């Protein structure tokens, strides 16, 4: 894994490593349609502005996509990207054997 890929994965894990952001991702896993920040507030222990900040960071890392309609923003989990990144790491952990 090259340095850029390692950094990308580290940033993803860092973003997912905060309990409120992980709660948001978990909630979005259950949603089949885009959700706005107000709908996602119930899954976190922060207010709407805090949820918006967390969603902005998740969007920056490519974990969620943002759809803008006027002043409203709706968020969708980038399922394939997140699953591919986590699956790639899991496969490396499970199947990599050092030459001894």
pTM: 0.87
Angle, CA of 31, 77 and 92, to the nearest 5°: 120
Which residues have CB under 8 Å from 21's CB, separation 6+?
Answer: 15, 54, 57, 58
* 25-40 residues labelled b (16+ CB within 10 A) or e (exposed): bebbeeeeebbbbeeb
Q: Specify if 35 maps to a domain.
A: yes
Q: Specify if 9 maps to a domain.
A: yes
CA gap 48, 13 in Å, rounded: 23
Q: Specify if 34 maps to a domain.
A: yes
| pLDDT of the residue at 1 | 80
Q: pLDDT band at residue 77, thresholds of 50, 70 and 90?
A: very high
More confident residue, 62 or 2: 62
Q: Specify if 100 maps to a domain.
A: no
Q: Specify if 56 maps to a domain.
A: yes
What mean pLDDT do residues 74-84 have?
Answer: 97
Range of the domain at 55: 3-95
* Per-residue pLDDT reduced to its tens digit, 25-58: 999 999 999 999 888 988 888 888 999 999 999 9
> Residue 9: which CATH number?
1.10.10.10
Domain count, the chain: 1
């Amino acid at each position: 894994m090259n340095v850029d890929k390692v950094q990308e994965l580290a940033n993803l894990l860092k973003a997912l490593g905060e309990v409120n952001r992980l709660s948001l991702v978990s909630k979005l896993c259950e949603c089949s349609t885009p959700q706005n920040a107000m709908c996602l507030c119930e899954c976190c222990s922060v207010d709407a502005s805090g949820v918006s900040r967390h969603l902005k960071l998740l969007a920056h890392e490519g974990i969620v996509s943002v759809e803008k309609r006027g002043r409203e923003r709706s968020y969708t989990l980038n399922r394939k990207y997140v699953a591919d990144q986590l699956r790639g790491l899991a496969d490396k952990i499970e199947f990599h054997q050092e030459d001894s």
